[in-house]
Amino acid sequence: MVRLNKSYLAVLLVQAIYAGMFLLSKAAFNGGMNNFVFIFYRQAAATVFLIPLSTFIEWKTAPPLPFSTFCKIFMLSLFGITLSLDLYGIALIYTSATLAAATTNCLPVITFFLAVLLGMETLKLRTIPGVAKLVGILICTGGVAALAFYNGPQFKIACHLHIFDLHNSHEVEGHAQNSGKTWIKGCFLMLTSNTCWGLWLVLQARVLKSYPSKLLFTTLQCFMSSVQSFCIAIVLVRDPHEWVLGWNLRLLAVAYCGIVVTGVSFYLQAWVVEKKGPVFLAMSTPLTLIFTMLSSVFLLCEIINLGRILGGLLLVGGLYSVLWGKSKEQKVLEERSCLPTQAEKLSSSDNQLKLAIVAPPSPLFV
């Protein structure tokens, strides 16, 4: 009973951490921080945090790193982390923290769809689980469409806290809310960011076979992403004042996203997966949307409308439909197998982890 309570507390903390990630990122952007500079600083903070850990834990047991594997890790970092995060940052400026939290619910669906296209997953339409997964994909598509194209009545609660003291938050948010084209562009960029992230989840499984040191693998990706993000930022951001952090919200957002999300949430997610399985963690993902929506209303003074609520509910419904179909198929496979070995169980758990965990299955997302 104690373990069960600890597991629930752990997933609540994980989702609260990611809600804070969306809020602080949005607040920093609203406060005038350049998103390209933010991505570089965040990845650099994550690298500095991970290098001592990976060196101490896995350096002696790490396998050799062939040049071909190095190139694969570089490309994974470029598309799955650097470009994904840069697109996410731009999309967050155009939209809201609530939308960012809502779209993470479609990540398992996107990942599963990409895995099917790459031949790493199967979709059996003659079975109930297969139909459930297809229905989940369609429901998520409807949710994305609702978020992008439908507004509906607005729900605004009186906001008097102004906890982040942002001088232009209402101006930026009002621009994003009032411009239909800007909002649609932001939704498209957010979906593209999640697609890059899903592709990273699928392809990293193959790279990990040739380089199984997960912590060093993560550190290498963070380091490469830091270099890539710096190159992009230094080309696009020439004003030296844009690079100044200071003791303010910008430094808090960078430190939080680079250290707390990278370190604390990664450890908690690994612990939950070990104790309760990856599906248990994935099922808790909609809590991030709830935490973010409530916090955005009271802390960022965001305006929530019916379209955002309906779109979020559809994304959550699609997520659960895909996860239900995936879990049913897994049970059938386990029943058909005769006393699988411990190695097979671990392999099955790793596969579920790559395709089921949502925000984030790794410490690298924002």
pLDDT digits (tens, 9 = 90+) for 135-193: 888 888 888 888 878 777 877 666 655 555 554 444 444 444 446 678 888 889 998 99
pLDDT at position 228? 96
pLDDT digits (tens, 9 = 90+) for 18-50: 888 888 888 888 888 999 999 999 999 989 988
pLDDT digits (tens, 9 = 90+) for 204-232: 878 888 888 888 888 898 899 999 999 99
Percent of the chain with pLDDT over 70: 82
List, in sequence order, every residue forming a beta bridge with 304; answer none if it has no partner.
Answer: 155
| Contacts of 185 by beta carbon, 8 Å cutoff, 6+ apart | 94
Judge whether residue 109 has pLDDT over 90. Answer: no
pLDDT at position 160? 55
> Which of 184, 147, 171 is CA-nearest to residue 306?
147
Judge whether residue 81 has pLDDT over 60. Answer: yes
Helix axes 342-356, 306-336, angle to 10 degrees: 160
For every residue of 314-353, DSSP letters joined together read HHHHHHHHHHHHHHHHHHHHHHHSSS--HHHHHHHHHHHH
pTM (predicted TM-score): 0.78
Torsion of CA 204, 206, 210, 212, to 10 degrees: 50
181/76 Cα distance (integer angstroms): 31
pLDDT digits (tens, 9 = 90+) for 316-355: 888 888 888 878 877 877 777 754 544 444 454 444 444 3
